[in-house]
Amino acid sequence: MWPKCQKCSQNISLSWVLFASNWTKYRCVNCKALHEFTRIRYLLASLTAALVLGVSLLLEPYIASYWGRLLLVVVVLFPIMTLVPGQYKLIRRK
């Protein structure tokens, strides 16, 4: 499910959900509502980072290329980061 604004239901930038720092806020382009991350996002991002490192090291005997291992792990874990609900909340309506 694509992340959506909780006020106007317009799609939120996927780059904000996947790559932004936990203290970064997002303002909806359409309705100007302000969103921020919750503790669920912090825990999920920490777990994802640990899994990327751990699984990449575990796959080393099977996949020789570092970039191949990293790509495989990222392709599996980043969609999971977008599917978990409750990662952000509406903090201010404009």
pLDDT surpassing 80 at residue 15 = yes
**Hunting for tokens 């874990």 — which residue is that?**
77
Q: What is the pLDDT of residues 26-77, one digit of tens each?
A: 999 999 999 999 999 889 888 888 887 888 788 888 888 888 887 887 787 7
3-class SS at 37?
A: strand
How many Å apart are CA 38 and CA 36, to the nearest integer?
A: 7
Q: Which residues contact 75 (CB under 8 A, 6 or more apart)?
A: none
How far CA 62 is from CA of 17, 50, 59, 68, 71, in Å, comes to: 31, 20, 5, 11, 14
pLDDT surpassing 80 at residue 25 = yes
Whether the predicted model's global pTM rises above the 0.75 cut: no
pLDDT at residue 94, as a whole number: 58
Q: What's the pLDDT band for 93 if we cut at 50, 70, 90?
A: low
Which among 60, 20, 63, 64 is positioned nearest to 44, based on CA atoms?
20
Q: What's the pLDDT band for 79 if we cut at 50, 70, 90?
A: confident
pLDDT at residue 1, as a whole number: 63
